Chains A and B, each alone.
Chain A
Amino acid sequence: MEPAANIDGLEIVYAKPKTLTDTPTHYCPGCGHGVVHKILMEVVEEMHIQEETIGVAPVGCAVFAYDYMNIDMQEAAHGRASAVATGIKRVLPDKYVFSYQGDGDLAAIGTGETIHTINRGENILMLFINNGIYGMTGGQMAPTSLIGMKTSTSPFGREAASMGNPLRITELIAPLPGAYYVSRHSVHSTAAVRKLKKAIVTSFKYQKEKRGTCFIEVVSNCPSGWKMTPIESNEWLEKNMFPFYPLGDIKVPKS
């Protein structure tokens, strides 16, 4: 980002990218979505690929992503973002295409599309925001909710015998030959945000080289759904989510 002009004799050293609109987001205070949107759009601006980038929004909290990202976008049916992205990428093979989905969208209703998109090695970036809950509908159990986690549809805590186990879909898809780069990140600290940004840049570089599917999971929070303050939610994230969804690269090309 270019530090811009002076205002009242003060120098601007930090600004939002032009690839974000001026629309205030609807995200709850402390939610990770806004951070992911911002760094994704920073990358698009810094790589000068706004004219060549098409995004696909999910059904879920990020359903309005197209209100905030200043790029061409399509809004997909629930779970189908990677199929819509496939359709776009196949007819525009030289453009940058990404899908942006939550855990319910990508790992429950859209599991089939997720696996097969990656198995075909579609040259897209799949961004997966995992906060272990259905935020948009008000805090229901997600495929990635942890054992014991209390949600509005598991009010006494998730119990494996009747509700199934949390799904580590990222580990599930990583062995597929079509998956070229699979990495798990978070946005709960400045260092983590920087790492995620690097991973997004890497993914777009691989997409340009037509290497296959790049898949980035962001283990994130949901202060409203978890019924915590933003700070509490980030502490809970580190203590409970990271042990089950450990951060780091899961599959990277051999150098």
Chain B
Amino acid sequence: MAGGTEKSHIRLMKGNEALAEAALRAGMQAYFGYPITPQTEVMEYLAIQAPNYPGVVILQAESEIAAINMVHGASGAGARAMISSSSPGISLMQECLSYMASAQLPAVIVNVQRGGPGLGTIQPSQADYFQAVKGGGHGDYHLIVLAPSSVQEMVDFVFDAFRLTEKYRNPAMILADGALGQMMEKVTLPAAGSLPKTSFPWTTIGKPNSRERNIITSLFIQPERMEKLNLVLQEKYRQMQQEVRSEEFQTEDADIILVAFGLTSRICNKTMHLAREKGIKVGLIRPITLYPFPTDVIAACATHAKTFLTVEMNAGQMVEDVRLAVNGKRPVQFYGRMGGMIPSPEEVLAQVESIAQELHTVHA
């Protein structure tokens, strides 16, 4: 494909644009979107690249609701489909995401989160954690959720998300934030065509005589059949546990373990180094997949760490899953900023120092 071979694979790019370029290189066949800050550059980038990708559908819909339903149609017709938006727009998509989870349609959904609730702000936030990992719409279902923390991961996770969504026939979300969407970093772009496309037997592409008709539906009016589908979905979620990904930094000897995802994990990484300079033994667990959640990794650390501090750009959402993982073995504290405010490494350090004093673990 154009773009992949002619230009350098190493570039300085904005997160949103890098994600869009990655989608094209990952063989995305259809993108539907609607403008909303802070992610509009995704569609803008795709629009300007469109002439280089004549077979790729790029369509600005009349609403996020229409856009996600176009994804439903395109995905059901066998296309590798993606949609991107930011928090209020993602809220509008929840009904269809529930339908797609039930109908087992693959697609990649990108949420470049902004502060809320309501119309909120256009500044970065992590306040859609609950919505992303607990289902979001009606019914018992989950999205696969990946949380990037760099522009490089805005690229890499597009490939991962397409691979996972097609492997499990379950919508996959990339849960980013306004900072990751807007900031520029050096990225290495994978070559185009490196993600092979599988052809699915269940797509609605026209019924040949050789097979029964394919129906894509989330309607199972008999409760026995509806329960059966639920059991299939729940079994799928159990299978997905093998996809858990996380990173650990200096957790082996840590007294205090920070738990943070996405942008906040980078801030906490800096805090960890500042604390270590002061002799406070701090470690960091960074969940990469938010669903499935790295429960076991956190639980394992609860056997030796004295306490946990979860840091998020919200009022305390992932901390609930951390507490479930720690399961009462150790205290789990929380520090967060809300409404588009980003905590600094120093203010997280102040929290760490205060905890350290309580623990009397400061070594001179």
Contact = CB atoms under 8 A, between A and B. Distances in A.
Contacts of B274: none
A84 interface: yes
Given A75-B219, A91-B79, A84 B207 contact: no
Interface stretch (B210-218, B297-305, B356-364): B210-218
Sort A-B residue pairs by CB-CB distance and give the 5 closest, nearest first.
A87-B73, A87-B70, A83-B69, A72-B204, A75-B217
Interface string B202-227: 01111111000111111100000000
Nearest to A70: B213
B65 interface: yes
Interface of B: 29-30, 32, 57, 59, 61-63, 65-67, 69-79, 81, 95-96, 99, 103, 203-209, 213-219
A113 B62 contact: yes
Given A84-B72, A113-B66, A75 B218 contact: yes
A112 B66 CA distance: 8
A116 B65 CA distance: 12
A113 B72 CA distance: 14
Contacts of B62: 112-113, 115-116
B219 A80 contact: no
Contacts of B29: 91
A92 B213 contact: no
Contact of A90 (B30, B99, B215, B219): B30
30 contacts: A50-B207, A51-B207, A66-B217, A69-B213, A71-B207, A72-B204, A72-B213, A73-B204, A73-B215, A73-B216, A74-B72, A74-B76, A75-B215, A75-B219, A76-B69, A80-B69, A83-B73, A87-B32, A87-B71, A87-B73, A87-B74, A88-B73, A88-B204, A90-B74, A91-B29, A91-B57, A91-B81, A92-B77, A112-B66, A113-B66
A94 B72 CA distance: 19
Contacts, number: 133
A76 B66 CA distance: 11
Given A113-B62, A113-B69, A91 B78 contact: yes
A83 B66 contact: yes
Interface string A33-73: 00000000000000000111110110000011010011111
Contacts of B217: 57, 66, 74-75
A77 interface: yes
A98 to B, nearest CB: 12
Given A75-B103, A75-B216, A91-B79, 7 more contacts: A70-B213, A75-B218, A87-B71, A88-B74, A88-B77, A88-B204, A91-B30
Contacts of A77: 69, 72, 95-96, 99
B163 to A, nearest CB: 20
